Amino acid sequence: MIQSLAHYGCHLLLPLVVALLFFKSNWKTAYFIMLAGLLIDIDHVLATPIFDPTRCSIGFHPLHSSFAILCYVFLCFKKTSRLVGLGLVIHIISDTVDCAFM
């Protein structure tokens, strides 16, 4: 229960905090763009079973690989892709928190 709260709390609240602190004038747009980082979980459909509560996503799914994570970090540096990059990095941080509870 606590693990789920921490995991989904990070997925939903961390982008909101970043949006409110650093993108005050456009926080709603920033929040929803960063929230779109949840879409990388589409790679879970490639796994069997699709959901396994004992499996750590980091390093297992293609969009959660080290190479992909490095690309997400680089997206944060360019202004035009910063929000997408932040959303993806926040997603990876959230999944890392989830893995730490396992």
pLDDT at position 98: 86
How many Å apart are CA 29 and CA 2, to the nearest integer?
A: 29
In total, how many domains does the chain have?
1
pLDDT at position 84: 98
pLDDT at position 1: 66
Most distant CA atoms of the chain, gap in Å: 43
Structural domain for 84, as ranges: 2-100
How many Å apart are CA 84 and CA 102, to the nearest integer?
A: 28
Distances (CA, A) of 87 to 18, 50, 55, 72, 75: 10, 23, 22, 9, 10
pLDDT at position 3: 73
What tens-digit pLDDT sequence spans the chain (102 residues)?
A: 677 777 888 899 999 999 999 999 999 999 999 999 999 999 999 999 998 888 999 999 999 999 999 999 999 999 999 999 999 999 999 999 888 887
